[in-house]
Amino acid sequence: MQEESEVKNEGMAIPTEVQWLVNPRTIRESRQTGEIAASLVVFVAKGSQVARSLIEKGINAVGV
């Protein structure tokens, strides 16, 4: 997922592995059964220049 996110967001580097608050399998199953329609994603930008760039260019989150 990390590599896919970097490909979909040109110029973005993810220095650490993605961390989940819930098991990804649980999220996937909940989406498939219609229990949930979406999941919350939190991005942390280090530094105001990075934050500005993300706001200007936007960011694409990839599915589970």
Q: How many CA atoms lie within 13 A of 39 on its CB side?
A: 19
Q: What is the DSSP letter of 34?
A: T
Are the C-beta atoms of residues 6 and 62 closer than 8 Å to each other?
no
Residue 2: predicted pLDDT = 58
Give the rounded percent of residues in the chain with a pLDDT score beyond 70: 67
Residue 9: predicted pLDDT = 63
The two three-digit tokens of residue 31, written as one number: 């989406």
Whole-angstrom distance, CA of residue 42 vs CA of residue 54: 13
**pLDDT at position 6 over 90:** no
- Report pLDDT digits (tens) over 19-42: 778 888 898 899 899 999 887 777
Residue 29: predicted pLDDT = 93
Structure-model confidence comparison of residues 62 and 27, the more confident one: 27
The two three-digit tokens of residue 63, written as one number: 């599915």
Residue 1: predicted pLDDT = 60
